[in-house]
Structure 1
Amino acid sequence: MSGAVWVDPVSDAALVGAVTAGFRGEFGDAPEGMWAAPGRVNLIGEHVDYADGLSLPVALPHRTVVAVRRRGDGVLRCASSLGGPAWHGRVEEIGPGNPSGWASYLAGVVWAMGRAGLLGNDFGGADVFVESSVPVGAGLSSSAALECALALALAELSGLPTDDAGRAALAACCVRAENEIALAPTGGMDQAVALRARAGHTLLVDSADGSATPVPLDLAGEGLALLVIDTRAPHRLVDGQYAQRRKSVEDAAARLSVASLREAADAGTDLRGLTDPTLARRARHVVSEIERVRETLSLMASGRYRELGPVLTASHVSLRDDFEVSCAELDCVVEAALAAGAYGARMTGGGFGGSAIALVEAAEIDAVASAVLAAARSRGLTEPRFLPAPASSPARRVLG
């Protein structure tokens, strides 16, 4: 079987060339600078960040780049070659749902940083042009990459600190932008890893205290690889399903009289107190997923990477059966990867489409990809695409 399509990362030089040309074509002059932020996959710890849980995301080598130039008239202008109309508007008019669409993620960053007092009263707006190699709609945090690239750009142009504490503050602004302006009720894992990742590491994100701790991830040293499978099934977080899951988690915590399900997980709270079967399933996923993150950390610390496989697969089963966020395409590629010899596989991201990951022998990555492609074809599903996923670096300024 041949024909697997690989989505390789684009070099900084190529992205910079494209974004510079796009900026000049749209705005007629050169930008002040360019900043890049990565997409991400989540190794494990899904749908727990808004329950104060633990997650282990990994920054992808695929990046979104923004070219930025400050203005002095209070106007924000956003454009991209990726599709969707350009948006121009006054900074003072940005608010929930305005603008809508892709520009809301950029406008939301400006709004949130302003509300946090990070952009002084004299902030006069900006021109922003976007290029990206992060697949849109694949559940790989293209929106967070967009937000975080602009947040870092505005911070550096404004002379703000961009050490880890400064980046944590920017990540909080990006979460607020996504929740309150783009109206996507996500947690904060994606923004944390986009701004605070470390190459060669996964990032232990503790949403209870906001900490982000790099954890070495040496899959290549063990002859392993993480295969990302983009099912190309439509992935949307604004159609109500994600919000319903989040509300269920919050309702379950309230009925258990705990501040969050992380508290229930840490205390070993008996979930039999949840008489509503749907809430019980949702809570069971969150509590068991937090424990799977801890098990993953233990296995990684002792170098037992191949033993991660069953933990990853158990996460998928929980997401499929208890949290009900999988779909036919995700189940197909997970089952096919396992049948082809993957040690473990699971959906990653918010679900309802998007991507899965598989832990495989590096020497077998092409064979597993071919088997997954054949399974999708045999079921009449959209043909998936595949991405390499070495643990990569966080948002940074890139040079032209």
Structure 2
Amino acid sequence: MNLMFVHDVRSETYNEETFARSYGYKIWEERYLPVFNKINVCFRNKDTNVDLNGISDKSSGPKVFFDKRIGMFKGPDVFFSRRIKNILRENIRNNDAVIVRLDSFLGLQTISECRKINKPYMIELVGCAWDSFWNHGFLGKILAPYLFLKTKIEVKRAPFVVYVTREFLQKRYPTKGISTNISNVKISKQKESDLNGRIEKISRLGNKIILGTAANVDVKYKGQKFVIEALGRLKKQGYTQFEYQILGPGDQRYLLDMARKFGVENQIKLLGSYPHEKVFEWMRNELDVYIQPSLQEGLPRAVIEAMSLGVPCIGSDVAGIPELLDKKWVFSRKKDKANEISKLLKKISKEELKVQAIRNFKTAEEYDYNFLLDKRFKILEKYKDFIRREK
């Protein structure tokens, strides 16, 4: 049985190899190929002359094929593009199963095409359409109500839905279909040595405290600017011990401008993009506190990954983040965000860091990869059985 997989994520092709951040080949190999014979992927795509090996995640490989005809597009254009609709229809006809990851424009259009021919599909709901677009500029605020209602309708009537959260997305986008919750995080068996090493690292903590965020740097709702503003306010109060390392792809100019605006250029390090394996090394070896200041998320994978290493974490109260963190380390996105972050940073102590390290390490055990993989295989097999009965 062949699978069509759809999402709006940006991919780039170099020398016939396709790269997509957070979509390394192992995702296909471990999560889907044990259940399906072949995967045909529809992402945004463009060719590049830049060798992305060691920079991004290589996504192509045996039995995984990318339809590069999709090309790059502005989100809403999908709803009006006859060319893209025809490509989607062709892929839907030529594959037995369809998995759509939402929120995404390409995903919503794929669902519409599936419904026209009564093709059974599965939704992987990884984010909230309202939060995503409402926090994405003026056009986003225009689109948010429509996309929220459209997503709500499609999830409600979908035959199968996989949620990444335990509660948040389920309450906002309930379904009448078969559902389960499975995080997209990949945590192999945790090592006590990581927790012990973290406790030792905290004990040796000097005057400098390194904060870090892993997210696209040119997506404003990821919220890195609020941390930068918080550091600027703290600097005026005499707190200059913080360094903020920002990991992720994208145009860095906006965040550099923010750093200059708040006078903290020397406290900000923009690291660019790392392959996924190197992100763990960075979290383990460099960070004292991981911070997720987002205005929109599903269940942020990077937070769980940091927790699995015993890294203390601060996060906003968006979506599934409060499901993960100690409420004392969660700030309200409805208040003065920079001020909220400043107050949390000023309260950091070695004793509290150790408490959070132990607490986070234990909580991350609930996201054991093999356990989640087993849950995924079970619902995928139910989906396949459903497809066979519908034929």
TM-score normalized by the length of structure 2: 0.24
TM-score normalized by the length of structure 1: 0.24
**Going by fraction, where is helix more abundant, 1 or 2?**
2
Q: Which protein has greater RCO, CA pairs closer than 8 Å, 6+ apart?
A: 1
